[in-house]
Amino acid sequence: MAPAFDPATREALLARVRFYRDLGLTEFYRRPVDPALLGAESLQNLSAPEPALSLPKGLASETWDSTTQPALQEDKLIPPRKPLLAPPEIADAVPSADRASALQLIREDIGDCTRCALHKGRNKLVFGDGSPNARLMFVGEGPGADEDAQGIPFVGKAGQLLNNMIAAMGLKREEVYIANVVKCRPPGNRTPEPEEGNTCSPFLFRQIDVVRPQVIVALGATAATYLLGQRQPLAGLRGRVHAFRGMQLIITYHPAYLLRDPRQKKEAWADLQIAMRELGLKAPAKG
Ligand code: SF4
């Protein structure tokens, strides 16, 4: 019999399941738990008459196949999230020579922003980094602790991996542009709430419209969600080119996820090779 969970544990489990679903991981396997590994309290819970975590049909079974178990079934359990804003109209193109100052203008518009709750825990606002004339742009979710401390996106461990990914593509970091959906660090690195993403993402769209890269690589489900204006499992979005505001959008895993599950690096590399093909890039020779 499944154990009963206290509300906090239950919410944490739901958040974890939602997180994996957003990453495109939709198959879950249960294995027997050695009772010796469980404390007395857990053993008591194991004999509780009703499981408090009543997962919807399909999710509670041995495997969960997203093609047969639509998200709506999960939504019965998880309260519907607030709608996403539709992506804004595409702004007029900015001449190459004016892009740096156009980006600076956006930064000034953001100012010492208090438009959403994320400002409360912020040390440094993380606007963006790289070339205003980049042909390739990476979009992540939001700053982590290192980024919040330095005010630069992707400078922690995930940033190191992103740097390696950029180098593997035959580019230098300063040749690309990097920005996030939200400019301030969500507490505990949680996923931004829809209010936060909706409030901040218009600045990202302005950055995108100024830089106007040929190819954008969205890193992870949150970036993909706000760029596309709709939620879809990452698995269904990866591996192909999406038309996006006159640019090409490719969606892959977030480097932080790749650090947790390096087995997916091959998949991410396949996505980056699509970007390279679109950009006419060849991987640098080894050695
Ligand atoms: S996350 Fe964006 S909207 Fe929210 S406070 Fe920071 S800059 Fe402002």
CA nearest to 22, candidates 286, 247, 244, 218: 218
**Whose alpha carbon is nearest atom 6 of ligand 1?**
184
Ligand 1 center–CA 119 separation, angstroms: 6
Instruction: Return the pLDDT at 59.
Output: 27
Mean pLDDT, 10 residues at a time, the chain of 287 residues? 70 67 54 55 42 34 31 39 82 97 98 98 98 98 97 96 96 98 96 96 98 98 95 92 97 96 94 97 75
Residue 192: exposure state from Cβ atoms within 10 A (0-12, 13-18, ≥19):
buried
Position 85 scores a pLDDT of 82
Length, in residues, of the chain: 287
CA of 227 to the centre of ligand 1 (A): 17
| Amino acid 42: pLDDT | 46
pLDDT of residue 196: 97
pLDDT at 20: 62
The per-residue pLDDT for range 123-151, each reduced to its tens digit, is 999 999 999 999 999 999 999 999 999 99
The pLDDT of residue 9: 77
Ligand 1, from 85, 106, 108, 116: best to mutate by most atoms within 8 Å of Cβ?
Answer: 116
Atom of ligand 1 nearest to the CA of 182: 1
**Residue 60: its pLDDT value, please?**
30
Residue from 110, 112, 115 whose mutation best tests the ligand 1 pocket (most atoms within 8 A of CB): 115
CA of 254 to the centre of ligand 1 (A): 21
DSSP 88: P
Phi-psi region of 180 (alpha: psi -120 to 50; beta: other; left: phi over 0): beta
